A = this chain, B = another copy of it.
């Protein structure tokens, strides 16, 4: 029997990355292109095909099990990208069908956080775990929840929107949803910058006062913090406090074995992880305390999204013939 392969595609607001992956999670070929130059989903899909065709021809269509796509607002049940605020395409885009028609290969699609959870389950720290949660901390905050050994999609495919759950009643107003006090308002890269701006509105000294307002980012705040800047350190401590409290809620909901943090914001390492752990534990009932494993994803960030999308192919029983 010949080795089988899956194609993993990660669609981000700025860049699209793809790779050909074997069952062991080795990326044998890869590539990428800009997402944001395509105003229409059709031209995007055409371009993606143009990039994938040489891979498919090189390895042979008959050994490629399918194409897995991780996309913002991707709905597994419908195979569509639905009203993604970070993409230029509007409305409901049946991207899985569009790729299937163009390539003649099965295509499955989910959102980026679910893809990350599938990737952790197949290749990362969650191997062998039936119950765990992945939180993606990037421009936004997403969630992928495994229970009873399966990803929770919910009744209509939109489960796991953990970033939109309320952590501060009547708190910050979300820039896109208008809802108040959601986790994303605080624990996303965007939220971290808002926290810094709030603190900078006070009188405290800070290296961040030398950073131009439009250059203020989770990254620049982190850099100031490791240089010993107290205000910048407080930004991450506060972020960790809010996130830790939210994680305690999530633990009491699904009682996971582990929570894995994923994405750009986790570059802050222990600066974020320590207050998260402290405030998660402080808000748990005794029956949950000191049990839940909490860590930052060990999958290389560049590869994890492709691996996660490819895992969607391997975990989809309908594609396993």
Chain A residues in the interface with B (C-beta under 8 A):
82-83, 129-131, 143, 145, 147-148, 150, 152-162, 164-169, 171, 177, 179, 245, 248-250, 252-257, 283, 285-288, 291
Contacts and interface: CB of A to CB of B under 8 A. Distances in A.
Contact of A164 (B162, B245, B285): B285
A156 B253 contact: no
B152 A147 contact: yes
B148 A150 contact: yes
Nearest to A288: B158
Number of copies: 2
Nearest to A168: B169
A253 B167 CA distance: 13
Given A166-B248, A167-B169, A169-B245, A156 B285 contact: no
A150 B162 CA distance: 21
Contacts of A145: 253-254
Given A147-B148, A158-B255, A161-B253, 18 more contacts: A82-B287, A83-B287, A129-B155, A143-B253, A148-B150, A148-B152, A148-B153, A153-B255, A154-B254, A155-B291, A161-B255, A162-B253, A164-B285, A165-B252, A166-B248, A167-B169, A168-B169, A253-B253
Nearest to A293: B155
Contact of A166 (B131, B283, B291): B283
A73 B91 CA distance: 46
A166 B130 CA distance: 25
Given A166-B245, A169-B169, A285-B161, A255 B154 contact: yes
A43 to B, nearest CB: 26
A189 B131 CA distance: 32
Contact of A160 (B129, B164, B165, B253): B253
